Amino acid sequence: MLPSPIEPPAASSDVRSGATRAEASVDNLAQARTRILAMFRTRRELIRWDAVSEYVGEAFAGVGELRAAVETWGSAGLIPTTEKALASVVKVVLRADDSNGEIGGLAYELLSLHAELCNDEPPKPAVLVEWLIDFRFGGSQNFWEPDIAAYTDALGAPGLFLLGERLNALEAALPPQTDAWDSPRQLIGRYRERAAVAGGDPDEVIASFGELTRSYRLHDLAKALVEVGDIDEAIGYAERATLLESGWQAERAGQYWCELLHEEWPHQDELAARQLIFDRWPSSQNALALAQAADDENSDVTWSSLAEAVYAQLETQQPRELINTLLGLGLADRAWEAAQRLTTDAGLWTMLVAAREKADPASVVPVLIQLIESDLRVAKPQNYKSAVKRLKQLRRALKATDAAALFPPIVADMREQHRRRPTLLQAFDRAGF
Protein backbone atom coordinates (compact mmCIF):
# COMPACT_ATOMS: atom_id res chain seq x y z
CA MET A 1 0.00 0.00 0.00
CA LEU A 2 1.37 3.44 -0.88
CA PRO A 3 2.19 5.69 2.10
CA SER A 4 0.05 8.79 2.70
CA PRO A 5 1.74 11.99 1.49
CA ILE A 6 1.75 13.31 5.06
CA GLU A 7 3.01 10.17 6.75
CA PRO A 8 6.64 10.04 7.92
CA PRO A 9 8.78 8.62 5.09
CA ALA A 10 9.80 4.98 5.14
CA ALA A 11 13.21 3.74 3.98
CA SER A 12 13.48 4.62 0.31
CA SER A 13 15.87 4.89 -2.61
CA ASP A 14 16.64 8.44 -1.41
CA VAL A 15 18.05 7.03 1.78
CA ARG A 16 19.86 4.21 -0.03
CA SER A 17 21.44 6.72 -2.39
CA GLY A 18 22.97 8.68 0.46
CA ALA A 19 20.22 11.20 1.47
CA THR A 20 19.65 11.32 5.19
CA ARG A 21 16.35 10.46 6.84
CA ALA A 22 15.96 14.12 7.85
CA GLU A 23 16.38 15.23 4.24
CA ALA A 24 13.73 12.76 3.10
CA SER A 25 11.40 14.08 5.79
CA VAL A 26 11.94 17.65 4.65
CA ASP A 27 11.19 16.64 1.06
CA ASN A 28 8.01 14.93 2.14
CA LEU A 29 6.94 17.97 4.20
CA ALA A 30 7.42 20.16 1.13
CA GLN A 31 5.18 17.83 -0.86
CA ALA A 32 2.54 17.92 1.87
CA ARG A 33 2.64 21.72 1.96
CA THR A 34 2.14 21.91 -1.81
CA ARG A 35 -0.76 19.48 -1.71
CA ILE A 36 -2.46 21.17 1.25
CA LEU A 37 -2.12 24.71 -0.10
CA ALA A 38 -3.77 23.62 -3.35
CA MET A 39 -6.94 22.96 -1.30
CA PHE A 40 -7.21 26.69 -0.48
CA ARG A 41 -6.71 27.94 -4.02
CA THR A 42 -9.25 28.19 -6.79
CA ARG A 43 -9.75 30.03 -10.07
CA ARG A 44 -13.51 29.54 -10.02
CA GLU A 45 -15.98 32.40 -9.88
CA LEU A 46 -17.47 32.16 -6.41
CA ILE A 47 -20.61 34.23 -6.93
CA ARG A 48 -23.23 31.59 -6.29
CA TRP A 49 -23.59 30.36 -2.72
CA ASP A 50 -23.43 26.71 -3.78
CA ALA A 51 -20.02 27.36 -5.38
CA VAL A 52 -18.88 29.18 -2.25
CA SER A 53 -20.03 26.30 -0.06
CA GLU A 54 -18.23 23.78 -2.26
CA TYR A 55 -14.98 25.76 -2.04
CA VAL A 56 -15.28 26.24 1.72
CA GLY A 57 -15.93 22.53 2.22
CA GLU A 58 -12.75 21.65 0.33
CA ALA A 59 -10.76 24.29 2.20
CA PHE A 60 -11.99 23.10 5.59
CA ALA A 61 -10.71 19.66 4.59
CA GLY A 62 -7.40 21.45 4.06
CA VAL A 63 -7.56 22.75 7.63
CA GLY A 64 -7.97 19.15 8.76
CA GLU A 65 -4.94 18.16 6.67
CA LEU A 66 -2.92 20.95 8.29
CA ARG A 67 -3.80 19.68 11.75
CA ALA A 68 -2.86 16.14 10.74
CA ALA A 69 0.45 17.37 9.34
CA VAL A 70 1.24 19.08 12.65
CA GLU A 71 1.07 15.70 14.35
CA THR A 72 3.85 14.51 12.06
CA TRP A 73 6.13 17.50 11.60
CA GLY A 74 5.35 19.75 14.53
CA SER A 75 3.88 23.24 14.73
CA ALA A 76 6.83 25.34 13.61
CA GLY A 77 7.02 23.66 10.21
CA LEU A 78 3.34 24.37 9.48
CA ILE A 79 3.14 28.01 10.62
CA PRO A 80 4.31 29.38 7.23
CA THR A 81 1.90 27.03 5.44
CA THR A 82 -1.02 28.29 7.54
CA GLU A 83 -0.04 31.87 6.74
CA LYS A 84 0.07 31.06 3.01
CA ALA A 85 -3.33 29.38 3.29
CA LEU A 86 -4.72 32.57 4.84
CA ALA A 87 -3.18 34.62 2.03
CA SER A 88 -4.93 32.36 -0.49
CA VAL A 89 -8.27 32.76 1.28
CA VAL A 90 -7.82 36.55 1.18
CA LYS A 91 -7.31 36.41 -2.60
CA VAL A 92 -10.40 34.23 -2.96
CA VAL A 93 -12.72 36.45 -0.89
CA LEU A 94 -11.78 39.53 -2.91
CA ARG A 95 -13.58 38.00 -5.91
CA ALA A 96 -16.30 36.04 -4.13
CA ASP A 97 -19.72 36.63 -2.61
CA ASP A 98 -19.27 35.97 1.11
CA SER A 99 -22.57 37.45 2.20
CA ASN A 100 -23.38 34.16 3.94
CA GLY A 101 -20.12 34.39 5.94
CA GLU A 102 -18.76 30.96 5.05
CA ILE A 103 -15.39 32.20 3.81
CA GLY A 104 -15.09 34.39 6.90
CA GLY A 105 -15.70 31.34 9.06
CA LEU A 106 -12.91 29.55 7.21
CA ALA A 107 -10.54 32.49 7.73
CA TYR A 108 -11.20 32.60 11.47
CA GLU A 109 -10.66 28.85 11.70
CA LEU A 110 -7.25 29.33 10.09
CA LEU A 111 -6.47 32.24 12.40
CA SER A 112 -7.36 30.08 15.38
CA LEU A 113 -5.08 27.32 14.10
CA HIS A 114 -2.30 29.85 13.49
CA ALA A 115 -2.51 31.03 17.09
CA GLU A 116 -2.42 27.43 18.35
CA LEU A 117 0.68 26.66 16.32
CA CYS A 118 2.46 29.83 17.40
CA ASN A 119 1.70 29.20 21.07
CA ASP A 120 2.94 25.63 20.76
CA GLU A 121 6.24 26.48 19.10
CA PRO A 122 6.65 30.28 19.21
CA PRO A 123 8.45 32.00 16.34
CA LYS A 124 10.75 34.91 17.08
CA PRO A 125 8.67 37.75 18.65
CA ALA A 126 9.71 40.24 15.95
CA VAL A 127 8.66 37.84 13.18
CA LEU A 128 5.27 37.13 14.77
CA VAL A 129 4.58 40.81 15.47
CA GLU A 130 5.41 41.67 11.88
CA TRP A 131 2.91 39.11 10.61
CA LEU A 132 0.17 40.19 13.07
CA ILE A 133 0.56 43.79 11.94
CA ASP A 134 0.86 43.05 8.23
CA PHE A 135 -2.16 40.74 8.09
CA ARG A 136 -4.54 43.54 9.07
CA PHE A 137 -2.64 46.76 8.42
CA GLY A 138 -0.76 45.66 5.30
CA GLY A 139 -3.52 46.63 2.88
CA SER A 140 -4.31 43.22 1.43
CA GLN A 141 -7.66 42.92 3.25
CA ASN A 142 -9.85 44.69 5.79
CA PHE A 143 -12.27 41.88 6.64
CA TRP A 144 -10.64 39.91 9.44
CA GLU A 145 -8.20 40.56 12.23
CA PRO A 146 -6.29 38.17 14.49
CA ASP A 147 -7.18 38.10 18.17
CA ILE A 148 -3.99 39.28 19.86
CA ALA A 149 -5.06 37.72 23.16
CA ALA A 150 -5.06 34.31 21.47
CA TYR A 151 -1.27 34.69 21.00
CA THR A 152 -0.49 35.28 24.69
CA ASP A 153 2.06 32.49 25.10
CA ALA A 154 3.62 33.06 21.71
CA LEU A 155 4.17 36.79 22.20
CA GLY A 156 5.23 36.86 25.83
CA ALA A 157 6.43 40.12 27.36
CA PRO A 158 8.98 40.82 24.59
CA GLY A 159 6.42 40.34 21.84
CA LEU A 160 3.80 42.49 23.56
CA PHE A 161 6.38 45.27 23.98
CA LEU A 162 7.32 45.10 20.30
CA LEU A 163 3.65 45.07 19.32
CA GLY A 164 3.02 48.18 21.43
CA GLU A 165 5.92 49.94 19.73
CA ARG A 166 4.60 49.07 16.28
CA LEU A 167 1.09 50.26 17.16
CA ASN A 168 2.48 53.53 18.49
CA ALA A 169 4.41 54.02 15.26
CA LEU A 170 1.33 53.29 13.16
CA GLU A 171 -0.73 55.80 15.12
CA ALA A 172 1.97 58.46 14.90
CA ALA A 173 1.98 58.13 11.11
CA LEU A 174 -1.77 58.80 10.83
CA PRO A 175 -3.05 62.21 9.72
CA PRO A 176 -4.82 64.36 12.34
CA GLN A 177 -8.18 62.98 13.39
CA THR A 178 -11.11 64.79 11.78
CA ASP A 179 -13.91 62.25 12.26
CA ALA A 180 -15.31 60.85 15.50
CA TRP A 181 -15.32 57.41 13.85
CA ASP A 182 -11.70 57.08 12.78
CA SER A 183 -11.37 53.56 11.39
CA PRO A 184 -7.55 53.22 11.54
CA ARG A 185 -7.45 54.51 15.12
CA GLN A 186 -10.35 52.23 16.05
CA LEU A 187 -8.42 49.26 14.70
CA ILE A 188 -5.26 50.22 16.56
CA GLY A 189 -7.38 50.58 19.69
CA ARG A 190 -8.79 47.06 19.31
CA TYR A 191 -5.28 45.65 18.95
CA ARG A 192 -4.25 47.48 22.15
CA GLU A 193 -7.28 46.19 24.04
CA ARG A 194 -6.57 42.60 23.09
CA ALA A 195 -2.86 43.07 23.85
CA ALA A 196 -3.82 44.29 27.33
CA VAL A 197 -5.87 41.13 27.83
CA ALA A 198 -2.84 39.12 26.75
CA GLY A 199 -0.81 40.99 29.37
CA GLY A 200 -3.27 39.92 32.08
CA ASP A 201 -3.31 43.14 34.16
CA PRO A 202 -6.90 44.32 34.89
CA ASP A 203 -5.80 47.95 35.31
CA GLU A 204 -4.09 47.89 31.92
CA VAL A 205 -7.21 46.35 30.39
CA ILE A 206 -9.40 49.13 31.80
CA ALA A 207 -6.95 51.82 30.67
CA SER A 208 -6.83 50.37 27.14
CA PHE A 209 -10.55 50.96 26.65
CA GLY A 210 -10.22 54.72 27.12
CA GLU A 211 -13.37 56.81 27.39
CA LEU A 212 -16.47 54.74 28.07
CA THR A 213 -19.62 56.50 26.92
CA ARG A 214 -21.60 53.65 25.35
CA SER A 215 -23.15 50.50 26.77
CA TYR A 216 -21.54 48.20 24.23
CA ARG A 217 -18.07 49.46 25.17
CA LEU A 218 -18.67 48.86 28.86
CA HIS A 219 -20.02 45.42 27.99
CA ASP A 220 -16.89 44.63 25.97
CA LEU A 221 -14.74 45.78 28.88
CA ALA A 222 -16.66 43.53 31.27
CA LYS A 223 -16.00 40.54 29.02
CA ALA A 224 -12.31 41.43 28.77
CA LEU A 225 -12.06 41.64 32.56
CA VAL A 226 -13.55 38.17 32.84
CA GLU A 227 -10.80 36.94 30.53
CA VAL A 228 -8.14 38.22 32.94
CA GLY A 229 -9.99 36.87 35.97
CA ASP A 230 -11.28 40.08 37.61
CA ILE A 231 -14.90 39.01 38.01
CA ASP A 232 -15.93 41.63 40.58
CA GLU A 233 -14.81 44.49 38.32
CA ALA A 234 -16.50 42.78 35.36
CA ILE A 235 -19.81 42.65 37.25
CA GLY A 236 -19.53 46.33 38.11
CA TYR A 237 -18.88 47.37 34.52
CA ALA A 238 -21.66 45.13 33.22
CA GLU A 239 -24.09 46.82 35.61
CA ARG A 240 -22.91 50.25 34.44
CA ALA A 241 -23.44 49.16 30.84
CA THR A 242 -26.99 48.09 31.67
CA LEU A 243 -27.95 51.37 33.26
CA LEU A 244 -26.15 53.73 30.87
CA GLU A 245 -28.53 53.47 27.90
CA SER A 246 -31.95 52.07 27.07
CA GLY A 247 -31.42 50.29 23.74
CA TRP A 248 -30.75 46.69 22.77
CA GLN A 249 -27.03 46.98 23.50
CA ALA A 250 -27.80 47.91 27.10
CA GLU A 251 -30.28 45.04 27.31
CA ARG A 252 -27.66 42.59 26.04
CA ALA A 253 -25.20 43.95 28.62
CA GLY A 254 -27.86 43.47 31.30
CA GLN A 255 -28.31 39.83 30.35
CA TYR A 256 -24.54 39.36 30.61
CA TRP A 257 -24.58 41.07 34.00
CA CYS A 258 -27.19 38.59 35.19
CA GLU A 259 -25.18 35.66 33.88
CA LEU A 260 -22.16 36.81 35.87
CA LEU A 261 -24.26 37.26 38.99
CA HIS A 262 -25.70 33.78 38.55
CA GLU A 263 -22.20 32.30 38.41
CA GLU A 264 -20.43 34.41 41.03
CA TRP A 265 -22.64 36.25 43.53
CA PRO A 266 -25.51 35.29 45.89
CA HIS A 267 -28.82 34.39 44.32
CA GLN A 268 -30.81 37.39 45.52
CA ASP A 269 -28.52 39.75 43.62
CA GLU A 270 -29.33 37.91 40.43
CA LEU A 271 -33.06 37.94 41.11
CA ALA A 272 -33.09 41.70 41.69
CA ALA A 273 -31.08 42.21 38.49
CA ARG A 274 -33.41 39.96 36.50
CA GLN A 275 -36.38 41.97 37.77
CA LEU A 276 -34.69 45.21 36.73
CA ILE A 277 -33.93 43.83 33.26
CA PHE A 278 -37.53 42.70 32.79
CA ASP A 279 -38.95 46.02 33.99
CA ARG A 280 -36.77 47.96 31.54
CA TRP A 281 -37.19 45.57 28.61
CA PRO A 282 -40.36 43.51 29.04
CA SER A 283 -40.06 40.49 26.76
CA SER A 284 -40.66 36.75 26.87
CA GLN A 285 -36.92 36.09 27.04
CA ASN A 286 -36.48 38.31 30.08
CA ALA A 287 -39.69 37.07 31.70
CA LEU A 288 -38.63 33.44 31.36
CA ALA A 289 -35.18 34.26 32.77
CA LEU A 290 -36.85 35.95 35.74
CA ALA A 291 -39.08 32.93 36.26
CA GLN A 292 -36.08 30.60 36.24
CA ALA A 293 -34.24 32.75 38.79
CA ALA A 294 -37.28 32.92 41.07
CA ASP A 295 -37.76 29.15 40.91
CA ASP A 296 -34.21 28.48 42.09
CA GLU A 297 -34.21 26.40 45.28
CA ASN A 298 -32.13 29.07 47.06
CA SER A 299 -34.56 31.88 46.27
CA ASP A 300 -36.64 33.47 49.02
CA VAL A 301 -39.10 34.64 46.37
CA THR A 302 -41.30 32.29 44.37
CA TRP A 303 -42.31 32.73 40.77
CA SER A 304 -45.96 32.47 41.75
CA SER A 305 -45.58 35.69 43.77
CA LEU A 306 -44.25 37.53 40.70
CA ALA A 307 -46.06 35.88 37.82
CA GLU A 308 -49.33 37.84 37.69
CA ALA A 309 -47.57 41.21 37.76
CA VAL A 310 -45.30 40.04 34.93
CA TYR A 311 -48.26 38.81 32.87
CA ALA A 312 -50.12 42.08 33.41
CA GLN A 313 -47.13 44.16 32.34
CA LEU A 314 -46.62 42.07 29.22
CA GLU A 315 -50.31 42.22 28.28
CA THR A 316 -50.24 46.01 28.54
CA GLN A 317 -46.89 46.65 26.85
CA GLN A 318 -46.03 43.57 24.76
CA PRO A 319 -49.09 41.32 24.14
CA ARG A 320 -47.23 39.08 21.71
CA GLU A 321 -44.52 38.51 24.31
CA LEU A 322 -47.14 37.49 26.87
CA ILE A 323 -48.24 34.61 24.65
CA ASN A 324 -44.65 33.53 24.02
CA THR A 325 -44.00 33.63 27.78
CA LEU A 326 -47.04 31.51 28.61
CA LEU A 327 -46.08 28.99 25.96
CA GLY A 328 -42.52 28.94 27.28
CA LEU A 329 -43.86 28.14 30.75
CA GLY A 330 -46.01 25.31 29.39
CA LEU A 331 -49.29 27.18 30.00
CA ALA A 332 -50.82 26.43 26.61
CA ASP A 333 -54.45 26.84 27.70
CA ARG A 334 -53.84 30.24 29.24
CA ALA A 335 -51.83 31.28 26.17
CA TRP A 336 -54.75 30.23 23.97
CA GLU A 337 -57.20 32.28 26.02
CA ALA A 338 -54.90 35.32 25.92
CA ALA A 339 -54.44 35.01 22.17
CA GLN A 340 -58.19 34.97 21.62
CA ARG A 341 -58.34 38.37 23.31
CA LEU A 342 -55.13 39.91 22.04
CA THR A 343 -54.01 38.79 18.58
CA THR A 344 -54.83 37.49 15.12
CA ASP A 345 -51.15 37.00 14.27
CA ALA A 346 -50.83 33.87 12.10
CA GLY A 347 -47.36 33.06 13.41
CA LEU A 348 -48.53 33.04 17.02
CA TRP A 349 -51.58 30.97 16.22
CA THR A 350 -49.39 28.46 14.39
CA MET A 351 -47.38 28.04 17.60
CA LEU A 352 -50.55 27.80 19.68
CA VAL A 353 -52.02 25.11 17.44
CA ALA A 354 -48.80 23.09 17.70
CA ALA A 355 -48.89 23.38 21.48
CA ARG A 356 -52.55 22.37 21.82
CA GLU A 357 -53.40 20.00 18.98
CA LYS A 358 -52.64 16.84 20.97
CA ALA A 359 -54.35 17.88 24.20
CA ASP A 360 -57.46 19.41 22.63
CA PRO A 361 -57.65 18.61 18.89
CA ALA A 362 -61.25 19.79 18.55
CA SER A 363 -60.30 23.35 19.51
CA VAL A 364 -57.65 23.67 16.80
CA VAL A 365 -59.91 22.62 13.90
CA PRO A 366 -61.60 26.00 13.28
CA VAL A 367 -58.32 27.83 13.80
CA LEU A 368 -56.56 25.64 11.25
CA ILE A 369 -59.31 26.24 8.71
CA GLN A 370 -58.92 30.00 9.19
CA LEU A 371 -55.15 29.76 8.83
CA ILE A 372 -55.48 27.73 5.62
CA GLU A 373 -57.92 30.23 4.17
CA SER A 374 -55.51 33.03 5.11
CA ASP A 375 -52.67 31.23 3.34
CA LEU A 376 -54.71 30.85 0.17
CA ARG A 377 -55.77 34.48 -0.09
CA VAL A 378 -52.50 35.17 -1.92
CA ALA A 379 -51.39 32.91 -4.77
CA LYS A 380 -47.78 32.17 -3.86
CA PRO A 381 -45.92 28.84 -3.84
CA GLN A 382 -44.76 29.34 -0.24
CA ASN A 383 -48.36 29.93 0.81
CA TYR A 384 -49.40 26.69 -0.91
CA LYS A 385 -46.66 24.82 0.98
CA SER A 386 -47.91 26.26 4.25
CA ALA A 387 -51.52 25.40 3.40
CA VAL A 388 -50.61 21.78 2.65
CA LYS A 389 -48.77 21.48 5.95
CA ARG A 390 -51.78 22.87 7.82
CA LEU A 391 -54.13 20.52 5.96
CA LYS A 392 -52.09 17.60 7.24
CA GLN A 393 -52.52 18.97 10.77
CA LEU A 394 -56.23 19.41 10.15
CA ARG A 395 -56.54 15.80 8.97
CA ARG A 396 -54.83 14.59 12.17
CA ALA A 397 -57.03 16.75 14.37
CA LEU A 398 -60.24 15.57 12.70
CA LYS A 399 -59.13 11.96 12.97
CA ALA A 400 -58.41 12.44 16.68
CA THR A 401 -61.95 13.73 17.22
CA ASP A 402 -63.59 10.90 15.24
CA ALA A 403 -64.54 13.39 12.54
CA ALA A 404 -62.23 12.16 9.79
CA ALA A 405 -65.19 12.00 7.39
CA LEU A 406 -65.30 15.80 7.34
CA PHE A 407 -61.85 16.13 5.78
CA PRO A 408 -62.62 15.08 2.15
CA PRO A 409 -65.49 17.60 1.77
CA ILE A 410 -63.28 20.39 3.15
CA VAL A 411 -60.57 19.60 0.60
CA ALA A 412 -63.18 19.27 -2.18
CA ASP A 413 -64.54 22.73 -1.36
CA MET A 414 -61.03 24.17 -1.49
CA ARG A 415 -60.34 22.49 -4.82
CA GLU A 416 -63.51 23.95 -6.27
CA GLN A 417 -62.88 27.42 -4.84
CA HIS A 418 -59.32 27.49 -6.24
CA ARG A 419 -59.86 25.49 -9.43
CA ARG A 420 -58.02 28.12 -11.50
CA ARG A 421 -54.78 27.58 -9.53
CA PRO A 422 -53.08 24.59 -11.15
CA THR A 423 -49.94 24.88 -8.99
CA LEU A 424 -52.05 24.62 -5.83
CA LEU A 425 -54.01 21.66 -7.20
CA GLN A 426 -50.74 19.91 -8.07
CA ALA A 427 -49.54 20.49 -4.49
CA PHE A 428 -52.79 18.92 -3.22
CA ASP A 429 -52.28 15.95 -5.57
CA ARG A 430 -48.71 15.38 -4.36
CA ALA A 431 -49.92 15.43 -0.75
CA GLY A 432 -52.67 12.91 -1.55
CA PHE A 433 -55.55 15.29 -0.91
pLDDT digit string, tens, across residues 415-427: 999 989 999 999 9
pLDDT in tens, 321-377: 999 999 999 999 999 999 999 989 999 999 999 999 999 999 999 999 999 999 999
User: Mean of the pLDDT values across residues 109-118?
Assistant: 98
In the chain the first and final C-alpha atoms are separated, in Å, by 58
Q: What is the pLDDT of residue 387?
A: 93
pLDDT in tens, 190-247: 999 999 999 999 999 999 999 999 999 999 999 999 999 999 999 999 999 999 999 9
Q: What is the mean pLDDT of the chain?
A: 90
Q: Which residues pair with 46 in a beta bridge?
A: 96
CB 190 within 8 A of CB 145: yes
CB 241 within 8 A of CB 218: yes
Q: What is the pLDDT of residue 25?
A: 58
User: Mean of the pLDDT values across residues 129-141?
Assistant: 94
Q: What is the pLDDT of residue 266?
A: 64
Task: Give the phi and the psi of residue 355 in degrees, each rounded to 5.
Answer: -75, -20
pLDDT in tens, 250-306: 999 999 999 999 988 766 689 999 999 999 999 999 999 999 999 887 777 899 999
Q: What is the pLDDT of residue 367?
A: 94
Confidence of residue 9 (pLDDT cuts 50, 70, 90): very low
pLDDT in tens, 60-74: 999 999 999 999 999
Share of the chain above pLDDT 70, in %: 93
Distances (CA, A) of 402 to 19, 274, 357, 361, 399: 85, 47, 14, 10, 5
Q: What is the 3-state secondary structure (H, E, C) of 218-281?
A: HHHHHHHHHHCCCHHHHHHHHHHHHHHCCCHHHHHHHHHHHHHHHHHCCHHHHHHHHHHHHHHC
Above 80 in pLDDT, residue 18?
no
Q: Could you give the 3-state DSSP secondary structure of residue 46? A: strand
CA distance 121 to 151: 11
Q: Could you give the 3-state DSSP secondary structure of residue 96? A: strand
